[in-house]
Amino acid sequence: MIKNDLFLRALKGESVERPPVWMMRQAGRYLPEFRALRDKYDFFTRCETPELAAEITVQPIRIVKPDAAILFSDILVVPRAMGIDVELKDNIGPIIPNPIRSMEQVNQVFIPDVNESLGYVMDAIKLTKEMLNNEVPLIGFAGSPWTIFCYAVEGKGSKSYDTAKGFCFSQPDAAHALLQKITDTTILYLKEKVKNGCNAIQIFDSWGGMLSPVDYQEFSWKYINQIVEALAPLTEVIVFGKGCWFALNEMSKSKASALGVDWTCSPRNARYLTGGDITLQGNFDPSRLLSPIPTIKKMVHEMIDEFGKDKYIVNLGHGILPNIPVDHAKAFVEAVKEYK
């Protein structure tokens, strides 16, 4: 039995004494302990070495003490497993040397044996579970098919993903074929994560907000919902779409256990758009962690008051920034634990 099951109880919609708290990217660059490992090992070595991934996952549990751990990995391990070459360039981010721009290239992308190509992730889960020793639940995650598609087609990060969108609109058959392959792989991958010990799953739709509401339904939500439908009978599923407040109503009708909200949508609007009955997660502006500690604590308490303590998981509205002082991250978590 997991000793601190607050996060899982909130996901199930149970009444809790206080909301649980964790932070997206909590195993990351704001921690000196993480930076020490980053300086010794390159990114994919950290992802692909179970001992390193497990150690990085557990670091914030020891230091910041949130109510859940999230496995250290990356959304781009999925396209790599599908035969799409991904490189990580310092100060630039992920690069796809041969971006996908034709049906011919889509046909070369394959659905892998996930235990073979992503077995290192499953090993990291088992090792992490041992190290966590049932203290807190472990979250597994994947990028949404649309978000993976954006990198695969654009070839790199972008402010607007015009090339990826253009591919959808000019070659819809090829776009849908690629999105379906990513979806099928993601379902297989997440099912194995659950089988190996993850207690919940989060789907990150980082670039969903780049699409219009109509295009979002066609090129993103349709595929996310396939994943939700496949995973919901096995575990709790959280869907987080950055900039996707316009889809919250549609998302709330799915089998997802919780929906993530970014800081551009107020708690009141998020509750209104989702009908007030589904667990919500979010939505503290990550930059706000640069505020003085008393301000952080005051704002966190106000945020909980606005969302309500039940059917709510405290989190940031996106990943924690690298320049956040550790004391400020701790204050964010402590503020939730002190909430009355």
Return binding residues.
25-29, 44, 74, 151, 206, 318
- 25 is a catalytic site residue: yes
Q: Which two tokens stand for residue 57?
A: 């996952």
Of 9, 38, 215, 310, catalytic: 38
What DSSP line would sit under 46-68, residue for residue? Answer: HHH-HHHHHHHHHHHHHHT--S-
- 151 is a catalytic site residue: yes
- 35 is a catalytic site residue: no
Contact 303, 11 (CB under 8 A): no
Q: Which residue has the tokens 């999105």?
A: 179
- 271 is a catalytic site residue: no
How remote is the C-alpha of 127 from its chain's centroid?
21
> Residue 243 and residue 211: Cα distance in Å, rounded?
9
How remote is the C-alpha of 246 from its chain's centroid?
19
Contact 71, 60 (CB under 8 A): no
> Residue 316 and residue 73: Cα distance in Å, rounded?
19
Of 5, 30, 67, 151, catalytic: 151
- 74 is a catalytic site residue: yes
Q: Name residue 164's amino acid.
A: A
> Residue 72 and residue 136: Cα distance in Å, rounded?
15
**Binding site residues for substrate, as ranges?**
25-29, 44, 74, 151, 206, 318
Q: Which two tokens stand for residue 129?
A: 């579970």
Q: Which residue has the tokens 């230091």?
A: 63
**DSSP strand pairing (312-316 vs 200-205):** unpaired
> Residue 68 and residue 91: Cα distance in Å, rounded?
29
Of 9, 29, 123, 310, catalytic: 29
Of 74, 184, 285, 310, catalytic: 74
The catalytic residues are: 25, 29, 38, 74, 151
